[in-house]
Amino acid sequence: MTIELAPHEARVIGCLVEKQIATPEQYPLSLNALVGACNQKSNRDPVLELDEATVQHTLDALAKKYLVSEETGYGSRVAKYRHRFCNSEYGTLKFSPRELAVVCELLLRGPQTPGELRGRASRLCPFRDADEVEATLEQLSRREDGPFVVRLPREPGKREARYAHLFGGAIDIPEESAAPAESAAAGHEQLERRVAALEAEVARLRALVQALAPE
């Protein structure tokens, strides 16, 4: 994978992909519409307050990477923007509808669990259950032209691990620590071994005392 996005670039690409799928009648987007999409308070994490100059600068950087294009027409003289990130005639990166829905949500909201992604990505592509999301994540993590996502260590007290996209560069993942239940079980086994060793030592000393005692 050769595409690497800065945080604001990821937000812009995520917004363009989202609007292309969810509201195709409003796509491509004007600069004003894209600023509004980047700063939405729903379906975004973190919530940003980008100004037009910042979004324009980001679009210019993406254009240099051939990841967005500026177009005029559409009944207006206002420039509008469409992504060339994937599934376009300009590049080789292709995603299935499910893969694209998952990648889009990860670009817009950062690391998420399969359960969270099922609820959020289903607005872009239907998912029957979290297992279908996990299968999609597995495909994205094992593609020959990827990987595009990575599983993060499970956080303490959480039932599910989160997944993150890799379009921001490689992620340094620490070794996953043992789950609390596994740690407790290991401690219990260690205590049992110590008790057994002490009981054996007591039995040996008792036998020694009995052997030395006068008859």
Q: Mean pLDDT for each consecutive 10-residue tract of the chain (215 residues)?
A: 92 98 97 98 97 98 97 78 94 96 98 96 95 97 96 91 95 62 58 73 74 67
- The strand ranges marked E within 74-137 are 76-83
Please give the model's pTM, rounded to 2 decimal places: 0.79
pLDDT score of 178: 44
Cα separations (Å) of 89 from 84, 127, 140, 155, 161?
Answer: 8, 27, 21, 40, 35
